[in-house]
Amino acid sequence: MARIYPSDKIKSPVHLSIGQEAVSTGVCDVLRADDVVSGTYRGHALYLAKGGDLGQFMAELYGKATGCALGRGGSMHLVDMTHNVLGASAVVGTTIPVAVGYAMALQREGRRRVVVSVFGDGATEEGAFYESLNFAALHRLPVLFVCENNQYAIHTPLSKRWSSTALVDRVRTFGIAVDEILTGDVLAIRERAAAAVEGLRRGEGPAFLHCLTYRWREHVGPSEDYDSGYRDRDELTPWEATDPVVALGDRLEPVAKAEIDARIEADIADAVAFAEKSPFPPSEELAGYVYA
């Protein structure tokens, strides 16, 4: 995506998940196919980890009719209800109460399905976050709140926004089980997520997972931005050194890793070709799906 973006073939703004993939991967790996996830405008990793269609994903970025939102949403509004990926939103924090509402529906359905609501640290500053925590706890809803804390709200660091970094302590006051992983270790995230999800299925009420991570690229766009004056590249160094994509790959046999890498590259090439060849929506579709 970062390589294609300067060509202007990708029509929507992109908020890349590079550096943050471990959170979505670790959490989604313990979910059932019929479980539901709700993400943010930086939701590429979540969409793919839950099984969202890669070709439709790429076509959506191109604004094509074969995109997952029919070319209407772009990068910030990915959706794939075939794989139970709720539609994302570009407005910070707004998907959290939607996820809670969906969790109430699943609770009444009675099939022990769960919802995972993934959001950034900036969303925890919205009133809807605390309203959602309270409602979910009050009704013991099967929702796992996952804070994907990349430590910046656009360009503003935590130190300029939070009087206290004890996020889990604030959440705990609602009577919600909390846990946190501060290392970015995908296997640790998976282990903690598995325990939390099992609790949800047993009807123990909502849980909260705080995962520290780091955004490698600029807030919106394909490039680095360490010369912009709001952060230093030295911050990235420890996250690069422990990159879970590399660390997990190093644990595989070289032949197996090469086969996986080749398959993924082929899948990506097919998705790009699908997006390139797909048509744009016809002009008569402009007024479609318009309420009034």
Classify residue 244 as exposed, middle or buried by CB count within 10 Å of its CB (0-12, 13-18, 19+).
buried
Confidence (pTM): 0.96
Place of tokens 């990926």: 85
Ordered by where they begin, the domains of the chain are: 5-152+160-222+236-283 (3.40.50.970)
| Mean of per-residue pLDDT scores for the chain | 96
- Position 19 scores a pLDDT of 96
Confidence of residue 292 (pLDDT cuts 50, 70, 90): confident
- Position 158 scores a pLDDT of 94
Work out the average pLDDT over 218-236.
96
The predicted-structure confidence for 14-67, as pLDDT tens digits, reads as follows 999 999 999 999 999 999 999 999 999 999 999 999 999 999 999 999 999 999
The predicted-structure confidence for 109-156, as pLDDT tens digits, reads as follows 999 999 999 999 999 999 999 999 999 999 999 999 999 999 999 999
How many whole angstroms separate alpha carbon 272 and alpha carbon 261? 17
- Position 290 scores a pLDDT of 87
Calculate the dihedral angle through the C-alpha atoms of 41, 45, 47, 52, rounding to the nearest 10 degrees. Answer: 150
Confidence of residue 280 (pLDDT cuts 50, 70, 90): very high
Residue type, 72: R
The predicted-structure confidence for 69-113, as pLDDT tens digits, reads as follows 999 999 999 999 999 999 999 999 999 999 999 999 999 999 999
Confidence of residue 289 (pLDDT cuts 50, 70, 90): confident
How many whole angstroms separate alpha carbon 144 and alpha carbon 136? 10
User: Who's near 179: CB < 8 A, 6+ residues apart?
Assistant: 168, 192, 195, 196, 207, 208, 209, 210
